[in-house]
A and B are shown apart, each in its own frame.
Chain A
Amino acid sequence: MPDMRGSEKLMLAWKARLTEDSVGEIARHLDDVPATVEKAQFHGGDQPSGLSLSLSYTADEIPYCGNTVQFYLDWLAKHGGGYTEPPRIIINGIPFPEWLRLELDFGRVGHDVRELGHFDRGLGR
C-alpha cells in the first residue's frame, strides 16, 4: 500500500490489533485441530498488535490444515481490519507430503518481535 496515507495504514492496524476475544478464538481453534505449534511470536510491545504462528501437521493430521486455513481466512475477515496476509504453506513432497508447515500472521506483524520462550497453548487465557 505504498500510496496510502500513513494515518490510514495506522488506522487499519489499530482495527487489526489483537483483542482478548480475537486471541481466544485462535486458542480455541488450536484446541480443535491436531496441529503442533512450532513457534508463536507476539508483535508490538506490551499491547501486542500481531501474532505469528508456525504450525506443523504430519501424516493423518495434514488434511486438518484446510480447517486451519479456513479459520484463518474467517478470522481475517472478522478481525483483520483490511490486512490480508496469505498463509505460507511448506510441504516436503508431492503428491502426498509427510509433513506440512503452515505459517500464519494474525493482526499486524512486522515490527519489533517478542519471542515466547515457552509456548502456552492457551495463548494467555
Chain B
Amino acid sequence: MIGASGRRVLQVHPTRLCNLSCDHCYTESGPGERTMLARALLEEVVADGATLGYDYLAISGGEPLLYPDLGALIEAGHAHGMTVAVTTNGTLPLTAQRRVWLADVDVLAISIDGSQRAHDRRRGTHAYRRTAAMLSDASETGHSWAAIFTLTRHNLDDVESVVALAADHGAAFVQVHPLSPLGRAKDTLPDAVPDEIELAAALVAGEVLGGEYGVPVLVDAVRSESFSLGWCDGTPSARVADDVPILAVMPDGSVLPLHHGMTRELALGSIHGAGLAVLAAEWTADGRRAGLRDLQRQALDRLVSGGAPRVVSWLDFVAETAHTGMV
C-alpha cells in the first residue's frame, strides 16, 4: 500500500495464507499456503525499519487476520512510533480476537472490487455481504478505514460503486491501485493490466468522483509531465527510507525495495539470513542502493523523453525498466 502524504512505508507480508484465491493476487496466496514468518523475526524487522526511517507499517498477506501474531505485530509498530495499517479482504467473521486486533489498527484498508456483482465474481458468493458487514462495523465504531480498488483494463466503470460505498460509510479515502502483472495475474489476467488510456481515465474519474462524493480518491498513477524526482539529483539521504519510500518484506522473508516485482538484483536479501538493518547496510555499501537510484533516474528519463506511455503506474514502470535491462 503506497503511503499517502509522503509516508515511508514498511510493508510486511507475514504469510501467504488466505481464505481466498483471487485471480489477481500478486503474492499467489490461498488456503493451502501455511508458511508464516515468525513473530520474533518480524518484531526485529519493525524495530530495524524504524531505525531506517520508516514510519508507516502496512501489514498485508495473504490475509493478515489469519496471522496468529497480528496483535503483536501491530503493537510492535506502535511501540516504534509507526502508523499501522492492515489490508484485509474483509470476508472473515469478526471474532472477538479480530475485533481486539482491529481496534488497535490506525487504518483499516479493505479490498473492494466494485459493485456487489463484480466483487462476488472475483472473491466468491456472499463476499460482498461479508465485506459490507466489516466496513459497516468500522463505520459504526468510528474506525478510520479506506477502500482499495484494483484497477484492471476492464473495470474502471466499477470504481464509482466503491467510491459511493466509501462515502456512505465514512471512509478516509479510496485507493485505486492498478493491477500489476505479477503472481497469479501473470497467468490468469495477462490482458487485464491497465494501460495509459485506462490510467489516464482513472485519474480523471478519481478527480470527478472524489469531488462528487466528497471522499478523496487516490489513483496510483502519474502523468509524465507532472513527475519529478528532484531528490535523485542530490546527495543520497542518510536514511534508507528517504531513498526507498516503500520497502516490502515478502512472505518468504525476502526484502524488496519499492515494488513486489523489483528485479532480485536490487533486493536487499532475506531476513532469514540477517537482520533488516544489516541487510540495508550491506545493500548500501555494495552499491545496490545507488543502483536503485540510477534505475529510478533511468525510468524517469525514459518516461519524459517520449516513446513511453504518458501515464504510468510509477512503481510498476520502475520495475519494468529494471527488467528491460536498462540498469
Contact = CB atoms under 8 A, between A and B. Distances in A.
A117 interface: no
Contacts of A44: 160, 164
Contacts of A3: 154
A44 B161 CA distance: 8
A2 interface: yes
Nearest to A112: B164
A2 B154 CA distance: 7
A45 B213 contact: yes
The range of chain A's interface size is 10 to 19
Given A7-B198, A46-B212, A112 B161 contact: yes
Contacts of B198: 5-7
Contacts of A13: 157
B159 to A, nearest CB: 8
B100 interface: no
A9 B157 contact: yes
Interface in B147-175: 151-158, 160-161, 164-165, 167-168
A111 B164 contact: yes
B317 to A, nearest CB: 19
**Majority secondary structure, A binding face:** loop
Nearest to A3: B154
**Majority secondary structure, B binding face:** helix
Interface in A14-65: 44-47
Contact of A7 (B167, B197, B213): B197
A110 B201 contact: no
Interface string B187-205: 0000000100110010001
Nearest to A1: B154
A54 B115 CA distance: 22
Contacts of A116: none
A94 interface: no
Interface residues of B, number: 23
B152 A6 contact: yes
A7 B155 CA distance: 8
B164 A6 contact: no
A15 to B, nearest CB: 12
B164 A10 contact: no
B34 interface: no
B219 to A, nearest CB: 13
Contact of B117 (A47, A110, A112): A110
Interface in B198-247: 198, 201, 205, 212-213
Q: Which of A2, A4, A5 has the most CB of B within 10 A?
A: A5
Interface of A: 2-7, 9-10, 13, 44-47, 110-112
Given A44-B160, A45-B212, 13 more contacts: A2-B154, A6-B151, A6-B158, A7-B156, A9-B154, A44-B164, A45-B167, A46-B212, A47-B212, A111-B115, A111-B161, A112-B161, A112-B164
